[in-house]
Every structure is written in C-alpha cells, then in structure tokens.
Amino acid sequence: MQRRSAIKNLALTIGGTIVLPTWANAWSKETLQNHSLSITSSQETLLAEIVATIIPKTDTPGAKELGADKFILRMIADCYDKKSQDIFAKGLISVDELAKKENGKTFVENDSKQRLEVLKKMSTSQNSDEKGFLHLVKGLTIDGYLVSEYVMTNLRIYEMVPGRYHGCVPIKK
C-alpha cells in the first residue's frame, strides 16, 4: 500500500501531464461525423460536465480529466444500436431540462451540488429513457475511468505481464 500512495503522490506532483491514448487525442468532430450520432459542441461540454459530476476531480483526476467523455462518444457512435443512441441524444436534452426545472439554470450553469442532485434524480426517474440515459452514461464513465492509463497505472494497478501465478496467498489488508 505504501508503494501505491508513493506512486499516487508522484502522479499528483506531475499533475498536469496526464497523457490520453492516441485514439482520444485523434478524436475530432470530423471522425465522429461518419456516424449517425449528431451532437453539438455545447452538448460536448455538457457531457464533459456530466462525467465530471459522476466521477469528480478530487486529489486525483476525475473522469473528465481522463477523457471519459470522449470515450463515451466513441463508444455510443461505434458500439451501440440506434435505440441506445437515441436514448443518449434525448438524455442530453433531458439533463438540461431537468436542471432548469430544478434550479432555473442549465446543467453547466448549476453548481456541483445541484448537478449531483440532478443526476441522482435522473437515476431514480420514472421515465425509463431518463433512467436509461443515466445508466448508460454512468456505466461508460466508470469504464472510461477505470480503464484509463492513469487509474490503471497509479490507482488500481494493472499488471500486463505478471510472470507468475500463486494459487493461494493471504489477502493483504
């Protein structure tokens, strides 16, 4: 555990040098336009704030800093069917509507506490599209976050090449 916190601290000191994978850097509106997904630049900003609310920046980067929003767009465009893409597109509109209804301002204009409340409301919504949107985006945010280089090399260490197998070892606390 000491090793982990040491790495964590090291990562913090180098703070701004998070490197996104090439696919995330190469991502652009142009590449996305090949797909059926249509999304405005303000909705891109909105999505970034949604993932930042789901997994916020604390003493370590949050989902937005790790490019989870870009990952989500990529996944929705490439791996999901029309129905899920529609739920996604509609959901982005619903988030703002709900934010305005609750707090009188768009989601991006809400403060972080208000944003969290809006998403919590959506997660328990009677409207299956709203609930479905949050379920979809939250799942992909977690995936984008956990399978990011930063988390996999600093926080939840992934060993590409373990070079060993031990069948029965005590769990380290």
Contacts with another protein, residue ranges (CB under 8 A)? 21-23, 53-56, 58, 62, 71, 74-75, 78-81, 116, 119-120, 123, 138, 142-143, 145-149, 152, 155-156, 158-171
Q: CB of 152: closest distance to another protein in angstroms?
A: 6
Nearer Cβ to another protein (31/45): 31
CB atoms within 10 A of CB 107: 24
Q: CB of 163: closest distance to another protein in angstroms?
A: 5
What does the angle CA 161 – CA 162 – CA 165 come to, to the nearest 5 degrees?
145
Nearer Cβ to another protein (19/93): 19
CB atoms within 10 A of CB 163: 5
Nearer Cβ to another protein (29/156): 156
8 A C-beta contact, residue 86 and residue 144: no
Nearer Cβ to another protein (14/171): 171
Q: CB of 116: closest distance to another protein in angstroms?
A: 5
With a CB cutoff of 8 Å and minimum separation 6, the contacts of 24 are 67, 70, 71
Nearest residue to 66 via CA among 125, 147, 123, 5: 147
